[in-house]
Amino acid sequence: MARTPSFTCSDCGAVHSKWSGRCDACGAWNSIIEEAPVVAGPGRRASSGGGRSIALSDLADETPPPPRTRCGIDELDRVLGGGLVPASALLVGGDPGIGKSTLLLQAAARFAETGLGVIYVSGEEAAAQVRMRAQRLGLASAPVRLATETNLRDILSTLDRERPDLAVIDSIQTMWSDSVEAAPGSVSQVRAAAHDLVTFAKRRGTAVVLVGHVTKEGQIAGPRVVEHMVDTVLYFEGERGHQFRILRAVKNRFGPADEIGVFEMTGAGLAEVSNPSALFLSDRDRESPGTAVFAGIEGTRPVLAEIQALVSPSPQPQARRSVVGWDAGRLAMILAVLESRCAIPFAGLDVYLNIAGGLRIGEPAADLAVAAALVSAREDVALPADMVVFGEISLSGALRPASQTENRLKEAEKLGFTQAALPERSAGAVPRGVGVRRFPDLVAFVGEMFGAG
Ligand code: TYD
Ligand code: MG
């Protein structure tokens, strides 16, 4: 029985009746692949009958936790969920030049020093370049074995023979499978290579790390399906021109997502930053209008960050809204709440918002600190320099408590802050050294702190 094949975009999953170079639905180039129709032959009717019976178990059945290997770089081990899990597949994404190869070479060397068999496959750099980097990082004597190759078949045969515990593939976009007729870096090549490498990881028990470059739109170049195939997706981020780098778990089957590891770029490679709050606040001026310190939680760890705002009369008919490190939609919402609930208008004013140090904050608990920085900038009134602020703002202007109040306050106390402004109903004990001011809504907060609204 002949059926017409269908054409599916491997980026967005849209189905087309014919092949074309560009997907109409998502605009991706070269992402449409032909998918063979499902054959419904005799004996394969619907999906019942003829299959083997699968063993079922209870949710309560005992499974030992996966064995883990820590490499000793704590910022990395924590982001992994407590160490590297055998047979796991990881994707490490980031902008070109952000430091992925450096990080992974350092990690490979440390894992090798713990006794794991480690192979580092570079498809981007010549062996001499990788060796030079290893020398610069002081890792030249680490027992990592190196290959420079892009042919996937040869790589897989080699890995199959060597059976390493960890294989790093730098990068997935340079890998090339001869079973797919497309250029390296194309969606179908990346997809095929990732699939083969992940299958290898599961079959042979090797942990496989795939390095992936990110496109300008912030996605791993190539199909999103790579993210679905792997167990763990880590993003390596940072602002160019800043020395901080943040490794963020966006998906982790073996640990908490949203965990971050903080590193500092140095001439000798990436150095761990075990107290990121001190770093993000280090160049904080005393009492400056337009700033507020947010006591946040990143993953399992409290992190303090300075939120900076600048408000100035706009020369344009359409005022500017510019945000770095926070969500632009959320900024618009806070501005609207300030205007309509607190009668503090921002029309005709350019608004710039920045999270210091290149951190990116996703927590709604930062709302109140953002509002504080905005009003402080607009009114030119500084908050007390030793105050932290947190809490979520609802559209009505009410303040909603954030999670982990106690942890946030403890971190603030540790860094020498003695005051905190937070939502009225926040639960949790207050450390002795911190004076807490509680507010039911934004109007009360703005009135008390700035005498405005
Ligand atoms: P690299 O690791 O090659 O980035 P990616 O693999 O993400 O493209 O790093 C880019 C450049 O930055 C490289 O020339 C080395 C330099 N670098 C340092 O000097 N120190 C550092 O700590 C890091 C991370 C990079
Ligand atoms: Mg690289």
Residue range 216-246, pLDDT digits in tens: 666 666 656 788 899 999 999 887 777 889 9
Report the nearest-CA residue for atom 9 of ligand 1. 99
Ligand 1 pocket, residues with Cβ under 6 angstroms: 94, 96-102, 265-267, 269-270
8 Å CB contact between 408 and 302: yes
- Other CB atoms within a 10 A radius of the CB of residue 178 amount to 9
Predicted local confidence at residue 10, as pLDDT? 73
Q: What is the whole-number distance in angstroms between the Cα of residue 100 and the centre of ligand 1?
A: 7
Q: Which CATH number fits domain 279-450: 3.40.630.10, 1.10.1370.40, 3.30.230.10, 3.40.640.10?
A: 3.30.230.10
Q: Which of 75, 100, 102, 121 to mutate to test the pocket of ligand 1 (most atoms within 8 A of CB)?
A: 102
Judged by its nearest atom, the ligand closest to the C-alpha of residue 123 is 2
8 Å CB contact between 200 and 156: yes
What is the dotted CATH code of the domain comprising 74-274?
Answer: 3.40.50.300
Cα–Cα nearest to 423, from 407, 445, 443, 399: 399
Alpha helices in 60-165 (DSSP H): 74-79, 100-113, 127-136, 152-162
Q: What is the whole-number distance in angstroms between the Cα of residue 107 and the centre of ligand 1?
A: 14
Which atom from ligand 1 is nearest to the alpha carbon of 104? 2
Predicted local confidence at residue 413, as pLDDT? 92
Judged by its nearest atom, the ligand closest to the C-alpha of residue 271 is 1
Predicted local confidence at residue 6, as pLDDT? 79
Which atom from ligand 1 is nearest to the alpha carbon of 133? 15
Report the nearest-CA residue for atom 11 of ligand 1. 97
Judged by its nearest atom, the ligand closest to the C-alpha of residue 104 is 1
Residues of the chain with pLDDT under 50: 1, 43
Judged by its nearest atom, the ligand closest to the C-alpha of residue 133 is 1
Q: What is the whole-number distance in angstroms between the Cα of residue 196 and the centre of ligand 1?
A: 28
Helix axes 187-204, 152-162, angle to 10 degrees: 10
Query: Bridge-partner residues for 168, per DSSP?
Result: 120, 209
Cα–Cα nearest to 422, from 289, 434, 246, 433: 434
Predicted local confidence at residue 255, as pLDDT? 87
Q: What is the whole-number distance in angstroms between the Cα of residue 230 and the centre of ligand 2?
A: 20
Plot region of 186 (φ>0 → left; ψ -120 to 50 → alpha; else → beta): beta
8 Å CB contact between 201 and 208: yes
Note the pTM of the prediction, 2 decimals. 0.81
Q: What is the whole-number distance in angstroms between the Cα of residue 101 and the centre of ligand 2?
A: 4
Report the nearest-CA residue for atom 25 of ligand 1. 99
Burial class of residue 164 (count of CB atoms within 10 Å of its CB; 0-12, 13-18, 19+):
buried
CA angle 251, 201, 99 (to 5 degrees): 55
Q: Kindly report, residue by residue over 282-338, the tens digit of the pLDDT.
A: 667 677 899 999 999 988 889 999 999 999 999 999 999 999 999 999 999 999 999
Which atom from ligand 1 is nearest to the alpha carbon of 263? 22
Predicted local confidence at residue 14, as pLDDT? 80
CA angle 425, 430, 433 (to 5 degrees): 140
Predicted local confidence at residue 342, as pLDDT? 96
Q: What is the whole-number distance in angstroms between the Cα of residue 24 and the centre of ligand 2?
A: 32
Q: What is the whole-number distance in angstroms between the Cα of residue 242 and the centre of ligand 1?
A: 13
